[in-house]
Structure 1
């Protein structure tokens, strides 16, 4: 039997209820637990997140160097423009970042509490041609 059987990505924030709404809507998730200081959600694809109250929480300033990126989330999407419109409509904001080199198109955003996350374009897979 595995020692660890489940886990959550936990974001500290001043208002966990409000941040949970943002991610619940963005990920089409459901709230699975809520206490006075923590809200948990579960989304399709196995994403488990929690939002913990920290009245002194300060968001990272990434991509500025004075407070480096502490952690961030990556989400795969099929349409970057559609996802961006939804994020902005939910209260998120785009981050000014340098172009990423590599096989994926990516865009950086911040949630309403300032936590950064990245949308990566899901690369369609086609059957190999002989």
Structure 2
């Protein structure tokens, strides 16, 4: 018998509640403390599916940007309909996201028509990535 499992990406930060609210507003979701765990907040999307966890880590140090050469850092990729990319960017910045400048050496140059880079209020990297089709299927 297989045990039912699920997974969720968890971001560490010093203050999880405001960061959970940031992502809940950005993703049109809700946020709240995880049952029985005062250090973890959950961002929950439609149909009650947890899409992201935010965990308290008082010693959290944000990742460096640009990353050191040859470094691979985790980032969150948020899919957005191509014709809504500018609006999604305005929403993210209004909520506290900070745009990240692309490097000019050609290796990490953003194509602003399809990809926009940011850090969230706690310093985690994320991108808004344009997709041709609607990124979500509505129930």
- Shorter-chain TM-score range: 0.7 to 0.9
Give unpaired runs (5+ residues) of structure 1. 126-130
1:96 aligns with 2:106: no
Q: Which residue of 1 aligns with 2:128?
A: 119
My pick for the range that moved more, 109-118 or 25-34, is 25-34
Q: Distance in 1 between matches of 2:99 and 2:43?
A: 23
The structure 1 segments of at least 4 consecutive aligned residues displaced by more than 3 Å after TM superposition are 1-4, 32-35, 44-47, 66-69
Q: Could you say what secondary structure the match of 2:26 adopts?
A: helix
Q: TM-score, normalised by structure 1?
A: 0.81
TM-score calculated relative to the size of structure 2: 0.76
- Match of residue 65, structure 1, among 68, 82, 86: 68
Q: Trace 1:20-39 onto structure 2 (pairs within 5 A).
A: 20-31=20-31, 33-34=33-34, 35-39=37-41
Matched, 1:84 2:84: no
Q: Across the two proteins, how many residue pairs are aligned to each other?
A: 123
3-state secondary structure, aligned to 1:36: strand
Q: Which residue of 2 aligns with 1:42?
A: 44
Partner of residue 55 from structure 1, selected from 58, 67, 89: 58
Aligned to 1:128: none
Give me the whole-angstrom Cα distance separating, in 2, the residues matched to 1:69 and 1:90.
26
Q: 1:99 offset after TM fit, Å?
A: 2.4
Residues 63, 69 of structure 1: 8 Å contact kept: no
Q: Aligned-pair distance for 1:105?
A: 1.3
How far apart in 1 are the matches of 2:11 and 2:68?
21
